[in-house]
Chains A and B, each alone.
Chain A
Amino acid sequence: MSAVTLEQPVGQTSSASKFIRRAPGILGLLFLAIVAVVEIVPFVFTVVNSAKCLPAINAAPWAFIPSSGFIDCRNEEGRPLPASAMTSGATFQPSLEGYQMVIARDLPRWFMNSVIFAAAVTICRILIDSLAGYSLARLKFPGNRLIFFIILGTLMIPGVVLIVPRFILLKQLGILNTYQGLIIPLAADAFGIFLMKQFFESIPRELEEAAEVDGASRLTTFFRIILPISTPALTALTIFSIQGMWNNFMDALIIVGTNPSLWTLTLGLSSLQGAGGETLIWNLFLAGAVITTIPMAIVFFAFQRYFVEGVSYSGLAGQ
């Protein structure tokens, strides 16, 4: 089939054939644009609707132009205002009710827990993963390769399989429903070790040899010479860890799910459905969604390059 179509005249300049040659490009661009819109629109409308009163969300989810200042969703008698009072056409009257409600439902605590959890795991990983990566990349010891394969092998263990045994283990260790219980099992990860190993292998050996001649120990060399020049890899590791932990749901659910004072943002958000009984309080949900997403969005836009590189790395690790 290719042979036949390839023999069609190529150099023709008639506008019809020009159009045919261009059509796939135009269609491709159109496809790209449509998917981009579909990917972005939900976020835009989430932000917009998080600042509406509930009746306005239900009546006119599409209204996206805020008018006037923020209003109260209830009148002086405490009754909810009707939707007609809050939207007209594409405009709506913004309100902070959703944000006030979600903050009243303990969101600041969830936020703090998420920060503590993500920070603790990330600091542990920076230290433990890079030490392990350095050991595998540079130091000769018996079982070096075997340990590397075991570590890579753990990438194949699906998280779902760990639900039951991790619960059992942490319960036996007496650290279920504690910060330690949530942090320690995640304090090292195979992907981070792989990432650091790959990076250390790319550093010229001369640097360490020079330090060794000067009589520095391995530990000193590692902390004084190697780590300071490893910023790109450490940044990638940090970002991946923060993203993973900030969005982590299943581990948190199993380990601290029954202790509301340790809930992270994702756990807290998932508990909001029951907040209004049968009615779903959308502005509460959406405000929570926005607050949860903003920190990740900031990290993403500041370090976008590392996200993209990291994904390519995960491709390497999997092969």
Chain B
Amino acid sequence: MAQSTTSPTAASPTRNATFKDKNRQEAMTGLGFIAPAFIILFGFLIIPMFVAGLFSLTNWDGITPIARGLITEENPNGAFDFVGLQNYNTILLQEGRRQESFYTALKNTIYYALGVVPVQTAFALVLAFVVNQKWLKGKGFFRTAFYFPSITSSVVISLIFMWMFSASGLVNTAISFLNPSYDPVTWLDNPSGTLHLLMNGIGINPTRDMLRVCDPATLQLWGCEVASIRLWDWLSGPSVTMATIMILNIWTTIGTMMVIYLAALQSIPSQVYEAATVDGASRVQLFRYITVPLLQPTTFFVVTIGLIGALQVFDQVYVMTSGGPANTTLTVAYLVYRSAFSDSRMGLAAATAIVLFVIIFVFTMIQRRITRESSGDRA
């Protein structure tokens, strides 16, 4: 743009004509250059979003060829019928098995995100802060050590963790070594909720009978069903097996988050720290009153991408547990896959996916808003 206005030749009329010509040519080249990328992204990302939306309104089973078209009176062998919002109704509102599956998956996914995101963010922040210290030697080594798991395939890491957390695996062996009276835990086949175990630990121990009772008058609430799931199960927390998958994910993601924090830390001018040190601030105070507030936008970013990742957890569940034991590692993403390809309910799967999309979209919007507001404050 700068070049066109400063060009002294643009004034003469004949030149002007070629200039216009040139503009048109540039526009054609520009469109030509971007066309392949746009076609692919449009065709395989944006159109599919609409296809998902469309099919979430049908009862297609995923097997009957779509070419058979709509089921009508003249065409009883059609592939699908439009059923309106029935799929959404089935998973969200209508009491039954499907609703139970959906809310179980949602509950598991939320517990998963609530466990994974804060822990990995806190670890990454503290690690980045220490790695960024001037006195630390071997920064490169630490950065490599933390980052390496992030570049390893999720399937490989799932297999490694399956082995490490198996009954006779490294983890149980190590704990037995430290504590000879340890009764080995079956990490990967253990549906008991971690919050259950905690509640049992502090003496809240409802018996089988109490768990069946639902009587608000006498405050016997454990057995009350909310969205097809008993209150006791809502409050059970992630199962031991889910907790294992959570540990896996924290272990893998810390490195990525730490590198993002490290980049942000290096952009904080050292004078800020020096000034505070002159004023007598200790290291802990530097961290608490300078690093953490200045990194707030980065923290929002790290939390959001962490959340988006956590809400979509799939690979680990597929490889390690297939949603079991007792559906305690069933996540929304895995439920989408299961409905689509095991239950042959494509329409239902599409609806589940759209609900997940909306949840993720809302979180992303909240993050953008907060980030924009906080950067507006600084400006």
Contact = CB atoms under 8 A, between A and B. Distances in A.
Partners in one complex: yes
Interface of A: 2, 5-8, 10, 21, 24-25, 28-29, 31-32, 35-36, 38-40, 42-43, 45-46, 49, 57-59, 61-62, 127-129, 131-132, 134-136, 139-142, 144, 147, 150-151, 154, 156-169, 171-172, 184-190, 193, 205, 209, 218-219, 222, 243, 246-247, 249-250, 253, 265-266, 269-270, 272-273, 280, 282, 285-286, 288-289, 292-293, 296-297, 300-301, 304, 307-308, 311-312, 314-315, 318-319
21 contacts: A28-B126, A28-B129, A45-B170, A58-B168, A131-B36, A131-B37, A140-B30, A141-B30, A144-B30, A147-B38, A163-B340, A168-B55, A187-B36, A190-B41, A247-B151, A286-B159, A297-B148, A307-B147, A311-B256, A312-B263, A319-B301
Contacts, number: 303
A164 B260 contact: no
B142 A165 contact: no
A205 B41 CA distance: 28
A265 B304 CA distance: 30
B143 A308 contact: yes
A303 B38 CA distance: 29
A274 B170 CA distance: 22
A188 B41 CA distance: 7
A301 to B, nearest CB: 8
Nearest to A135: B33
Interface stretch (B192-200, B216-224, B349-357): B349-357
A161 B37 contact: no
Contacts of B260: 311-312, 314-315
B181 interface: no
Contact of B66 (A135, A139, A172, A311): A172
A266 B153 contact: yes
A31 B131 CA distance: 11
Given A39-B255, A249-B315, A205 B3 contact: yes
A contacts with B: majority SS: helix
A95 B235 CA distance: 48
- Of A10, A24, A59, A139, most B-chain CB atoms within 10 Å: A139
B251 interface: yes
A189 to B, nearest CB: 8
A151 B173 CA distance: 50
A1 to B, nearest CB: 10
Given A2-B289, A163-B336, A318 B55 contact: no
Contacts of B251: 38-39
A40 B282 CA distance: 32
A285 B62 CA distance: 32
Contacts of B62: 167
- Of B37, B40, B169, B264, most A-chain CB atoms within 10 Å: B37
A214 to B, nearest CB: 15
A42 B164 contact: yes
A161 B52 contact: yes
A285 B263 CA distance: 36
A135 B126 CA distance: 41
B46 A154 contact: yes
Contacts of B44: 162, 166, 169, 184-186
A296 B152 CA distance: 7
A289 B160 contact: yes
